Amino acid sequence: MTINTHFQQLPDNYLFKEISNRVEAFQQSHPNARVLRLGVGDVTRPLPLPVVDAMHRAVEELAHPETFRGYCPEEGYPWLRQTIIDNDYRPRGVQLELEEVFISEGAGSDLGNLSELFSSANRVAILDPSYPAYVDSSVMAGREIEFLPCHADNNFVPSLPKEKADIIYLCFPNNPTGTVLTHDQLKAWVEYARTNKSLIIFDAAYESFIEDSDIPHSIYEIEGAKEVAVEVRSYSKSSGFTAVRCGWTVVPKATGLQAMWMRRQCTKYNGTAYVAQRAAEATYTPLGKDGIQNNLAHYKGTAQLLSQGLRDLGFEVYGGKNAPYIWCRVPKGYTSWSFFDCLLNNCQIVCTPGAGFGPSGESYVRFSAFSNRKDCEEALKRLQALA
């Protein structure tokens, strides 16, 4: 046996593991401190009742011989895939076939697994900073990476790659910077991919935070994108499903990858949990939608509170609108990790050091709006005392 030595190129510790180690160490030495967690982008609001009811009903079905079900279809139940097409795509003028939508256990696994479809000789372009999964899975596969720096001078909007990229990971609304792309900005990427015969892996995990009308919710709103883009979506942040686990991936037939992905899923994926698929279906009922919108309104409110509050305290702040993340420049003299340590030790606030998302994140920290209003207000008070 020989191991995949590409793993040795990965940083020793996954970013969020390192953060939780430092927070745990702090908490152990300060057992009475009330730590405010504005770091990891995990949801905090409970599931809406119609979703919980749907899960109860699904469990009950599994409990009786006449309604029991075994393995779910590898690509997901047609009733959920059709519901996604009817609610998330058709109203935006996007026509998809049922066979192009694959239900998943969330975006994270598919973002990694899609990498299997491509040869390791492909050159990959990835935004810097970015959600770590794109870099990590490309490194594991031994691919060459071109980083596309995103900083205040380019408004965190990346330039096109300098050398031809075969695979491009785009994430908008962006984690961690909170940046969004207008229709025209995204169109430039679709045109690049069409000209260069590249594939865009479009991560739209934060689509539900979009409020401005000129921002596309799906890459397929751009003409010609179906030939060059795979889109990855998730119920995690839109519907509070980080524990439930459900999402979907669109692999259009026009990419030439749909049959390959189906083949891959049949061998390696035995379907998303039935209970999770029923829960996802319930998010589209009128009451389900109300509950989801209620939770989203809460997070949008905390995003607004945090970004305005930080701005008022004199911080240079980006994001927080159309996205649940606030990207904040650290004060002079700090690195992103030293400011993380400063906030933890002096204010008992947890943020995420920007350097964990790539070298261009070095002068920033990320605050997450997935928190309750009281904690955000308290965090701002503590920061004011620090200033």
Using CB under 6 A as the binding rule, whether residue 47 contacts ligand PLP is answered as no
Element (H, E) at 230: strand 229-234
Sign of the Cα pseudo-torsion (70, 74, 76, 78, in order):
negative
Q: How many residues bind ligand PLP (CB under 6 A)?
A: 14
Residue 282 CB burial class (10 angstroms; 0-12, 13-18, ≥19) = buried
Using CB under 6 A as the binding rule, whether residue 363 contacts ligand PLP is answered as no
> Residue 133 Cβ, how far from ligand PLP at the closest point, in Å?
7
Close Cβ partners of 235 (under 8 Å, ≥ 6 residues apart): 106, 241, 244, 246, 247, 279, 280, 283
Using CB under 6 A as the binding rule, whether residue 203 contacts ligand PLP is answered as yes
- Decide whether 152 or 243 has the Cβ nearer to ligand PLP: 243
Using CB under 6 A as the binding rule, whether residue 129 contacts ligand PLP is answered as no
143-172 residues in contact with ligand PLP (CB under 6 A) are: 171
| Rg of the chain (C-alpha set) | 21
Cα 222 from Cα 187, distance rounded (Å): 6
Beta strands 325-329; 317-319: pairing state: antiparallel
Using CB under 6 A as the binding rule, whether residue 48 contacts ligand PLP is answered as no
CB 125 within 8 A of CB 146: yes
> Residue 78 Cβ, how far from ligand PLP at the closest point, in Å?
22
Region of 93-101, 102-110, 121-129, 347-355 interacting with ligand PLP (CB under 6 A): 102-110
Using CB under 6 A as the binding rule, whether residue 205 contacts ligand PLP is answered as yes
Using CB under 6 A as the binding rule, whether residue 88 contacts ligand PLP is answered as no
CB 107 within 8 A of CB 236: yes
Using CB under 6 A as the binding rule, whether residue 324 contacts ligand PLP is answered as no
| DSSP collapsed to 3 states, 102-170 | EEECCHHHHHHHHHHHCCCCCEEEEEECCCHHHHHHHHHCCCEEEEEECCHHHCCCCCCCCCCCCEEEE
Cα 94 from Cα 87, distance rounded (Å): 10
Using CB under 6 A as the binding rule, whether residue 107 contacts ligand PLP is answered as yes
Using CB under 6 A as the binding rule, whether residue 106 contacts ligand PLP is answered as yes
Q: What are phi and psi of 298, to 5 degrees?
A: -60, -50
Q: Which of 179, 208, 242, 352 binds ligand PLP (CB under 6 A)?
A: 242
Using CB under 6 A as the binding rule, whether residue 175 contacts ligand PLP is answered as yes
- Decide whether 76 or 347 has the Cβ nearer to ligand PLP: 76
- Decide whether 108 or 356 has the Cβ nearer to ligand PLP: 108
> Residue 350 Cβ, how far from ligand PLP at the closest point, in Å?
15
> Residue 203 Cβ, how far from ligand PLP at the closest point, in Å?
5
Cα 196 from Cα 296, distance rounded (Å): 38
Q: What is the DSSP letter of 73?
A: P
Region of 94-102, 106-114, 261-269, 345-353 interacting with ligand PLP (CB under 6 A): 106-114
Using CB under 6 A as the binding rule, whether residue 200 contacts ligand PLP is answered as no
Q: What are phi and psi of 236, to 5 degrees?
A: -60, -55
Using CB under 6 A as the binding rule, whether residue 215 contacts ligand PLP is answered as no
In the complex, which residues of this chain contact ligand PLP (CB under 6 A)? 41, 106-108, 111, 131, 171, 175, 203, 205, 234, 236, 242, 247
